[in-house]
Structure formats: structure tokens, C-alpha cells
Amino acid sequence: MSRLTDKSSKIIDIIFSEEVFCFYIISCMIAVPLTEFIAELMGQTLVAEQVVFSVYGIVGLFLCTGKLALKPTGRHWSDFFFFTLHIFMFLSLIYSCDIARILRKNATSNEYPAFFVGYYCMMYAGFQLSKKKLRQFVLATFLLLALLEGILGIFQTFGIAPLPMLWTEWILEVFGLTPNSNLFGALSVLFVGACGGMFIFAEKKGFRIAAGVLTIISIYCSVHSLARLAWLGDGIVVVTYFVSLLIMMKRNKGDEKYKIMFKRFLLWLAFIAGGIVLAILKSNSLSKRIEVTSNEISAVTEQGDITRVGSHRGVIWSFCLEALPRHWVTGVGLDNLKQCYLENRKWVQGMYYSNQAHNEYLQVLTTQGIFAFINYMALIITSTVMGIKRVIKNDDDTDRFITWTYLAMFAGFSCAMFFLFRSFTVEPYYFAVIGLMNPRVHKKIADRK
């Protein structure tokens, strides 16, 4: 009996080990775009990745709940958010104004319950990775994806599909595997943040050279995505590194390593500039989008017309906010933003409507209600505060630099979300970053406390 108990205990240790959670994150990051790529070769678009990520959501739920039940490791604030995020999501689903909409077959739907479960499980899995090497493996995966998707992006900026008949014209314009979309633009923010961390903090020159080249590729594709949210996110990543390096240099006066890192940061800016210059030489898309932005700002400041903000996102935001007083408790329901239009007197059948708020914070507020929104913002704020503390107070330099990189990625993407619509092709990466930025404390650090 004791042997049987020992064996079962070892099996549980293996199943719920950090290595398995790391594999869960990395395999999901790779499998979702890869299976869609393969499916497109077979003539099917926007199908495979939905199925694959739904499976990851279900598997992740069993993995995470099993970890909580069979191998608990003490209390952690992440456990609270793991449960509350699920609770508010399911309450919104149950009290949806039109629950049938979540069951419809729609290639562009992004709010199936299984997707949310997948997001939160990716986050929870990230929180489990206290081992620095495992968190570095995930960072390496971000760099690998920056390379692979960057190659696809470069091809497509020249209007070339890597393989014949790989993408239709519509897919070239909007699909998340390509640079010509908000989705790739959002991913590029994470890629730029990961490349920046590698370039600034890596000791080996070869890694820094690779990160510099990947920075050029990521910035080039980011500019060509025509997604201004990506440019905003990239800018926030740069500002985050700049401000945090200045703070750490001031806190550690006389420490030469931070001066060296700041010099690397300045050199990294040169790689960013190189990517921008190449994009400008390739096309005038950058200047056109700057002109559009200038016109939108003028419309707001001179005419008071907020509807033109963010390519007329202001119109969508106004419909969302006007529906909030009627649905402030549980929201209009998952994947049910159309309800905001149906109930509005300004909208008549046949007029344009969007099922995405193009602002993730407003999307949560409108579809899930005020309490879910407060909970979501509490997660963002807690993650930010804890991430900053981990960078400043950590005695382990390697752990500090890894956390620092994830913090910059997190900051850039969090700002980009003000103009981004939720998509299962992007969200898993972001939620994984939230967990990876603040994993459960290392045992050595806990002992020192």
C-alpha cells in the first residue's frame, strides 16, 4: 500500500510540476498559430486555432484545478484572481441578454467560455514557474515566434505568400498571423519587449546580436501592421525600459552594470530606428497613419468630435457606455455587444454594429459588468505593483532581469489594449506574461524574508 501511495505521489508530482506548466504555455503559444498555418495549407481558414485553443482551455482547467486540489503550495494572490475571473465570466454568460449568441458558429467570435478558461489557465500556469530557467524558455519562445512570424510578415509586406495560395486577399489584410492587422500589431508589442529585455540584460554577445536583428524585424512589421495601437505599445515598452533604468541607476549609484545596461538600451534604440527607417523606405504607410492621427486629434480638439477617435472607435465606445446603466451588474453578456446597439434609439436595423468594443477594458465593463471590471482592474494593478516591487527589491539579478523584461512587455500591451479588440490569437500570450511576471516566490527569497 505504501509503495502504491509513493508511486501515485510521484505521478502527481510529475503531472503538476513546473516543467509541465511550462510545456503547457510554450506548446499553446506554438500550437495555435502552427495548426492554423497547416489548416490554411489544406484550404481551411480560421477553424483549426479555435478548436486547438478550446482544447487547451479544457486541459488547462483540469491541470490548474488538479494542482490546487492535489498539490497545493500555500496561498498566493493569483489563486484569488483565478477563481474570481472565472466566476464573473460565468455569471455574465448565465445572465446574458442573448445567451444563444455564444453558441452560434462564427469564425470571428472571440468570447467562447472555453477561450476565457484558456486565458486564465495560461495566467495560472505562468504563476507556477518559479524556476528562472523555465521563465527564460518562455522568453526564448517569444523570440522564436518573433522570428517565424516576422519572416511571414516581411514576405507579406511585399505582397508575397511564402507558399502558393497560402492566404486569400482578405486573410492577408486581417488575419492575426500576418502583420497587416491589429492582432499582429499587438503581438509585435510583446516581441519588441522580449527583444529589448534580451538585448539589454543578456550577457552573451550572440544573444544580444540576435535580439537586435529581431528588434528590427519586429519594428518593421509593427509599422507595416498599420495598427497605431502597436506603435503606442512599442512606445510604452521603450519608455518603461528608459524610466526603470534611470530609477535603478539612481538607486544603485556606482554600480557599473546599470550604466552598461543603459548604454545597451541606447544602442537598442538604434535598432528600433533602423526598423522604422526600413519601413519608411518600403512604403509611405507610416506618414499616412500619422496624418490620420493628426486629423483625428484636430477633430477632437477643434470640433469636439470624439467619434473619430481611433478610426471611429469613439462611436463604438459611445454605444457601450450608453448601455452600461441598464446592464451594470452582469453586463450584456459574453460575445453579445450587439445588444448595446439593439437597445439604442440611434441605431436601426441594417446599420453598422461591432461585436467588439475595440478597447479591452471597456469590453470587460460592457459585457461582464462593473464588478467584473473592478476585479479585472484589480488584477492589472496588483500585477503592476508586485512586478515593480520584484524588480526593485529582488536580490537575485537573473530573476530581476527576467521580471523586468516581462514587466516591459506587460506595460506595453496593457496600454495597447485601450484600442485592441479581444482575440484568442493574442490574449493567451498576454495572460501568460501576467503570470510569468509574478511567479510564486523562489524558496531562497522566501527564506531570506
Report pLDDT for 354. Answer: 85
Phi/psi region, residue 428 (left: phi>0; alpha: psi -120 to 50; beta: rest), is alpha
pLDDT > 90 in the chain, percent: 57
Alpha helices in 45-109 (DSSP H): 48-70, 77-94
Is 42 buried (19+), middle (13-18) or exposed (0-12) by CB count in 10 A? Answer: exposed
Cα–Cα nearest to 236, from 413, 361, 377 = 413
- Looking up cell 462564427, which residue turns up? 106
What is the Rg, in whole angstroms, of the alpha carbon atoms belonging to the chain?
Answer: 22
Instruction: Return d(Cα 328, Cα 364) in angstroms, integer.
Output: 11
Averaged pLDDT of the chain: 86
Segment of 102-116, 327-341, 347-361 carrying the highest mean pLDDT: 327-341
How many Cβ atoms from other residues are within 10 Å of residue 306's Cβ? 15
User: Rounded to an integer, what is the distance from CA 17 to the centroid of its chain?
Assistant: 24
Between 191 and 107, whose confidence is greater?
Answer: 191
Report pLDDT for 234. Answer: 95
Mean pLDDT of 273-285: 87
What grid cell was written down for 413?
Answer: 500591451
Cβ-defined contacts of 48-52 (< 8 Å, 24+) = 49/424, 49/425, 50/107, 50/112, 50/424
Dihedral through CA 232, CA 354, CA 83, CA 118, nearest 10?
-80
pTM of the complete model: 0.91
User: Rounded to an integer, what is the distance from CA 198 to the centroid of its chain?
Assistant: 18
How many Cβ atoms from other residues are within 10 Å of residue 133's Cβ? 12
Q: Which residues contact 316 (CB under 8 A, 6 or more apart)?
A: 354, 356, 357, 358
Q: Which residues contact 35 (CB under 8 A, 6 or more apart)?
A: 48, 49, 52
Residues in the chain: 449
Mean pLDDT of 34-58: 81
Report pLDDT for 344. Answer: 92
Q: Where along the chain do its domains lie?
A: 129-448
Lowest mean pLDDT segment, chosen from 83-97, 103-117, 118-132, 226-240: 103-117
Is the Cβ–Cβ distance between 75 and 121 less than 8 Å? no
Instruction: Return d(Cα 339, Cα 104) in angstroms, integer.
Output: 15
Q: Residue type for 43, please?
A: G
Is the Cβ–Cβ distance between 123 and 356 less than 8 Å? no
What grid cell was written down for 405?
Answer: 523584461
DSSP summary character for residue 422? P
User: Rounded to an integer, what is the distance from CA 290 to the centroid of its chain?
Assistant: 25
Beta-strand (E) ranges in 379-420? none
Report pLDDT for 447. Answer: 38
pLDDT > 70 in the chain, percent: 87
Lowest mean pLDDT segment, chosen from 90-94, 164-168, 248-252, 257-261: 164-168
